[in-house]
């Protein structure tokens, strides 16, 4: 095993003296120690360290004479051909030489700021520095306590070399430098470098480090295939490798691996299986997936199955786990249940066919008929060969040419004619042809997975992004590069990670930006090759749009500020250098080629940039975002780079050690940066956030400000916490609408109703006039009769006069009958009138109600117009404000800031419109309910009046009816 490790180490694999997890934890100080240890191994035959080797190590834009001069000042051998004893060149000497050659003037400025100009930093300002500058303010103070005297004293005791200062709890500049370059001050939380994620969720819940065309060491056409590539990518942490299997043409007809019909060299299948066995679980113990692109005939598929069974042995996952059966609706097993297991991804026969053929195979009765072989070396009929590929292709490695090769057939894709033994080895990674997301959802088979080419995947992202995310919550998907990438270039994997795709396969042999992002992302979680997807990309009850521009529910948007202060040992040449800082994540979070420092000319050793902070103002989804630091020389050549995940990034002054283009750690090159992390706060809510974060401090500052303003004679009103108050002019508020209750009496007063019932009113008036005439006539007649009877008689005798008494009695009866007749006429008329007025009253009530509703709608329409006008006004003011903002230097920065502000304004007004729409709907509903009750009361009141007239008539019939006119 040890021999295999040494033989297979490459730029993708860690150095033999350091484990993968250790490489991930290398701080600036540890990298120095590693460089010092490396010098200890670079000795001459006598075991001594040559001075010229030391000079070469530190050559970085300076002449070697400087290194020799510094060695001389340190009383060490300084001649070009001199050597020194290993014991004399201690790490302390190495450290001192480092700082002589590369003085840290950038940290000196920071030291003066913290120490207030003194020669040392005392305990109290150091505690303030740790809490104010080196601590993420978003952290919970219970889980991540603030620095106190005890912790600060421990740091001083650890990193301060001056014993006197250490005893007095003081920190010198050297102590501060040692602390800032220590593991404790790493740019990423150290726990993120070990396996810290849950590993007991289904396979589909993880991103899986995946390779495409793993066997190729170069371009896709006419390139060279190599078994070594499998060792390299597996040692680099890859967990899914691809094997393009074709029929071998040698005498033994051994299955081969090559890029079919692309004139690439070939390697033997069994050699690859040996390489996979030896290196699969060196870097990570979590499962490896072998993605077979199978073009072999059944005879050679049998050999493939035989090699997998014999060589891989117990490592091969040949049958499903009892707790995770291959049934619809059953979830995939977790990575922790598949440790040290290799899964095969290959087409599988139907269960009943596989069972029958497998039984025949075991009995020795399985017969292969018409087994067609495909020629891997034949050019594809449907694909043009690039002009730069030579016509003659070298013979396959280890496979003699076969003159009796079968006739060429057109390439049609992977075979579905699978040998039953190979088919039986497939379980949790069963590839199926993708039909639609709806079809996959209906089948609900979690162990089915589909592969998507880069263009097809992008198309599904554009048209069905949310469905794609939901598909990946249940089952796995694999993305592979477009066939047009003849030079083995890579696509940007971030866009497919945003959709939750698990196996985003890349060409590992190409160290381009996409590959750097891939390696940088997967070096965390112990470089185990599995990264847990965010919660909302796993749960079926959550909806996530990968193109969303607003924060996801339950996720707090972040703000990140990066100030690039200086670099160290960036180049071994005297060249100008500059730094770019990019962010990759959701489309709305991705910012590329916008933030770059000025170029520091002629200094690759210790350039000081001290730029204004690069502000990533709003990061919608920090869980998926990564920062990329790229260092370039004046010709645009990449000198070093580093990928840091935003989730897990530490705030403060940090040294960021750089990686090579292939993501391999570099010993001395690093950047010194100041990183600030905050919760994103929309404009206008800063005071609210300050009050919530530190209520006492905020109120204290507010009180102090009020006292200062009062001392200046300015009246202070407490309006800061009220967003409805402030400098805004008082807006003229519309008086609220108040509608009078609509009753029968209210309707009768209505002019429209009076006009409609004018005839009834005239008829009633006519009846009253007629009754009045009858009363007057009877009154006149009775008075005349009385006058005739009492004429000439004594008034005192009239009381006892029988004639008078008789006449009065007769007149009383006549008057009572007349009054009864009139009353009954009125009651009958009013009852008839109310019966006739039912529909008229209802119709007029509905007209009055409709008028009220129109008034309400007109008021609501005015409110909406005011909101739209205010939104348009704020939009114009925002654009003017952004254009006049001198702190925004670039067009892209202004556009992004404008987009953010307009998005916040839009959200605010959408919420306002939503609230006012709800309020207006409630107003309408309330008025409608009121109107319905009024209609109901109208019918009730009419019926009540009718009953009242009937009751009066009945009471009149039951009472005495004697009436007279006096």
Active-site positions read 212, 259
Which long-range contacts (C-beta less than 8 Å, at least 24 apart) are formed by 509-516? 509/216, 509/217, 509/218, 509/229, 511/11, 511/660, 511/661, 511/662, 511/663, 514/490, 515/490, 515/662, 515/663, 516/628, 516/641, 516/643, 516/659, 516/661, 516/663
CA 368 – CA 213 distance, rounded (Å): 30
User: Which one-letter DSSP state was computed for residue 729?
Assistant: P
Burial status of residue 391 (CB atoms within 10 A of its CB: 0-12, 13-18, 19 or more): exposed
Closest C-alpha to 783, from 818, 808, 761, 803: 808
SS in 3 state form for 74-94?
A: CCCCCCCCCEECCCCCCHHHH
CA separation for the pair 757, 760 (Å, rounded): 5
- Work out the end-to-end distance of the chain between its first and last CA atoms, rounded to an integer number of angstroms: 136
Pairing of the two strands 267-268 and 477-480:
unpaired
Angstrom distances, CA of residue 326 to CA of 319, 321, 387, 447: 10, 9, 48, 7
- How many C-beta neighbours within 10 Å does residue 966 have? 4
Distance CA 189, CA 199 (A): 19
Q: Are the C-beta atoms of 70 and 96 separated by less than 8 Å? A: no
- Other Cβ atoms within 10 Å of 750 Cβ, number: 16
Q: What distance lies between CA 119 and its chain's CA centroid?
A: 47
Sign of CA dihedral 884, 885, 890, 891: negative
The helix/strand/coil state of 149 is helix
Helical (H) or strand (E) element with 28? helix 28-41
Burial class (CB in 10 A: 0-12, 13-18, 19+), 87: exposed
Q: What is the DSSP letter of 309?
A: I
| Partner residues linked to 451 by β-bridges | 478
Element containing residue 580 per DSSP (H, E): strand 577-584
Contact, 567 vs 631, CB < 8 A?
A: yes
CB 299 within 8 A of CB 413: no
At residue 216, the 3 state secondary structure works out as strand
Task: Look at residues 566, 660, 569, 632 and name the one whose alpha carbon lies nearest to residue 59.
Answer: 569
Tokens of 98: 């480092």
Instruction: Report the half-sphere exposure of 387 (CA within 13 A, side-chain side).
Output: 0
Tell me 638's DSSP state: E
- 278 class by beta-carbon count within 10 Å (0-12 exposed, 13-18 middle, 19+ buried): buried
Q: At what angle do helices 28-41 and 51-58 cross, to 10 degrees?
A: 150
**Residue count (the chain):** 966
Q: Could you tell me the two tokens for 60?
A: 């970085």
Q: Which of 632, 622, 623, 624 is nearest to 513 (CA)?
A: 632
Q: State the Cα torsion 616-619-625-627 to the nearest 10°.
A: 10
């Amino acid at each position: 095993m040890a021999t295999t490790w040494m033989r297979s180490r490459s730029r993708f694999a860690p150095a033999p003296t350091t484990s993968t997890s250790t490489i991930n934890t290398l701080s600036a100080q540890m990298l120095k120690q590693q460089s010092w240890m490396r010098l200890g191994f670079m000795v001459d035959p006598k075991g001594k360290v040559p001075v010229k080797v030391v000079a070469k190590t530190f050559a970085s834009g300076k002449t070697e004479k400087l290194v020799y001069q510094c060695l001389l000042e340190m009383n060490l051998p300084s001649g070009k051909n001199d050597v020194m004893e290993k014991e004399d060149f201690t790490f302390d000497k190495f450290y001192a030489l480092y700082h002589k050659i590369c003085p840290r003037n950038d940290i000196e400025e920071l030291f003066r700021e913290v120490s207030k100009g003194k020669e040392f930093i005392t305990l109290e300002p150091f505690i303030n520095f740790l809490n104010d500058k080196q601590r993420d303010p978003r952290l919970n103070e219970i889980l991540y306590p603030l620095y106190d005297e005890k912790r600060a004293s421990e740091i001083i005791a650890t990193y301060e070399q001056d014993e006197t200062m250490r005893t007095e709890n003081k920190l010198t500049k050297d102590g501060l430098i040692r602390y800032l370059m220590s593991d404790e001050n790493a740019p990423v939380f150290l726990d993120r470098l070990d396996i810290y994620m849950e590993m007991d969720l289904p396979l589909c819940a993880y991103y899986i480090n995946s390779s495409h065309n793993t066997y190729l060491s170069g371009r896709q056409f006419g390139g060279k295939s190599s078994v070594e590539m499998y060792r390299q990518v597996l040692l680099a942490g890859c967990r899914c490798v691809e094997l393009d299997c074709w029929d071998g043409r040698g005498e033994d007809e051994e299955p081969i691996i090559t890029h079919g019909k692309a004139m690439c060299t070939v390697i033997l299948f069994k050699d690859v299986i040996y390489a996979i066995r030896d290196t699969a679980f060196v870097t990570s113990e979590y499962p490896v997936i072998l993605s077979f692109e199978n073009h072999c005939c059944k005879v050679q598929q049998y050999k493939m199955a035989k090699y997998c069974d014999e060589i891989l042995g117990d490592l091969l996952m040949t049958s499903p786990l009892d707790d995770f059966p291959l049934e619809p609706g059953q979830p995939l097993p977790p990575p922790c249940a598949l440790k040290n297991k290799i899964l095969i991804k290959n087409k599988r026969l139907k269960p009943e066919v596989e069972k029958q053929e497998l039984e025949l195979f075991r009995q020795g009765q399985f017969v292969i008929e018409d087994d067609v072989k495909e020629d891997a070396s034949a050019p594809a009929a449907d694909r043009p060969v690039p002009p730069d590929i030579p016509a003659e292709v070298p013979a396959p490695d280890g496979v003699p040419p076969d003159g009796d090769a079968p006739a060429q057939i057109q390439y049609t894709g992977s075979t579905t004619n699978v040998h039953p033994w190979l088919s039986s080895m497939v379980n949790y990674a069963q590839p199926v042809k993708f039909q639609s997301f709806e079809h996959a959802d209906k089948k609900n088979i979690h162990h089915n997975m589909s592969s998507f080419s880069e263009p097809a995947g992008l198309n599904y992202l554009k048209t069905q992004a949310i469905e794609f995310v939901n598909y990946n919550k249940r089952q796995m998907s694999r993305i592979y590069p477009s066939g047009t990438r003849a030079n083995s270039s890579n696509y940007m994997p971030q866009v497919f990670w945003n959709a939750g795709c698990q196996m985003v396969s890349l060409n590992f042999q190409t160290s381009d930006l996409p590959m750097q992002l891939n390696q940088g992302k997967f070096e965390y979680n112990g470089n185990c090759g599995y990264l847990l997807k965010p919660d909302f990309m796993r749960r079926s009850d959550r909806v996530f749009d990968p193109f969303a521009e607003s924060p996801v529910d339950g996720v707090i948007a972040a703000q990140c500020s990066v100030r690039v202060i200086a670099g160290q040992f960036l180049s071994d040449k005297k060249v100008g250098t500059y730094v770019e800082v990019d962010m990759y994540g959701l489309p709305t979070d991705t910012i590329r080629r916008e933030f770059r420092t000025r170029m520091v000319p002629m200094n690759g050793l210790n350039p000081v940039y001290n730029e204004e902070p690069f502000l990533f103002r709003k990061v919608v989804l920090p869980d998926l975002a990564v920062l990329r630091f790229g260092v370039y020389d004046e010709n645009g050549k990449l000198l070093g780079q580093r990928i840091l995940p935003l989730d897990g990034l530490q705030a403060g002054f940090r040294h960021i050690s750089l990686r090579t283009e292939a993501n391999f750690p570099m010993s001395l090159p690093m950047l010194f940066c100041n990183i600030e992390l905050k919760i994103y706060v929309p404009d206008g809510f800063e005071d609210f956030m300050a009050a919530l974060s530190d209520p006492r401090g905020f109120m204290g500052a507010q009180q102090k400000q009020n006292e200062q303003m009062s001392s200046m004679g300015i009246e202070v009103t407490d309006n800061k916490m009220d967003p409805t108050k402030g400098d805004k002019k008082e807006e003229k508020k519309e008086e609220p609408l108040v509608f009078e209750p609509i009753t029968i009496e209210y309707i009768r007063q209505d002019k429209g109703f009076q006009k409609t019932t004018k005839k009834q009113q005239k008829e009633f008036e006519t009846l009253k006039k007629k009754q009045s005439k009858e009363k007057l006539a009877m009154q006149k007649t009775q008075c005349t009769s009385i006058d005739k009877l009492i004429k000439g008689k004594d008034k005192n005798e009239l009381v006892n006069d029988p004639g008078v008494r008789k006449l009065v009695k007769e007149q009383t009866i006549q008057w009572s009958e007349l009054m009864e007749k009139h009353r009954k006429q009125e009651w009958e008329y009013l009852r008839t009138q109310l019966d006739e007025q039912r529909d008229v009253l209802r119709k007029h009530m509905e007209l009055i109600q409709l008028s009220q509703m129109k008034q309400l709608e007109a008021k609501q329409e005015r409110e909406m117009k005011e909101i739209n006008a205010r939104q348009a006004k704020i939009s114009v003011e925002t654009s003017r404000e952004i254009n006049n903002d001198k702190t925004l230097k670039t067009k892209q920065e202004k556009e992004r800031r404008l987009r953010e502000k307009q998005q916040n304004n839009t959200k605010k007004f959408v919420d306002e419109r939503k609230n006012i729409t709800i309020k207006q709907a409630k107003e309408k509903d309330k008025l409608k309910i009121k109107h319905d009750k009024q209609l109901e009361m109208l019918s009730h009141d009419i019926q009540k009046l009718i009953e009242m007239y009937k009751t009066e008539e009945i009471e009149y019939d039951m009472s005495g009816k004697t009436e007279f006119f006096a």
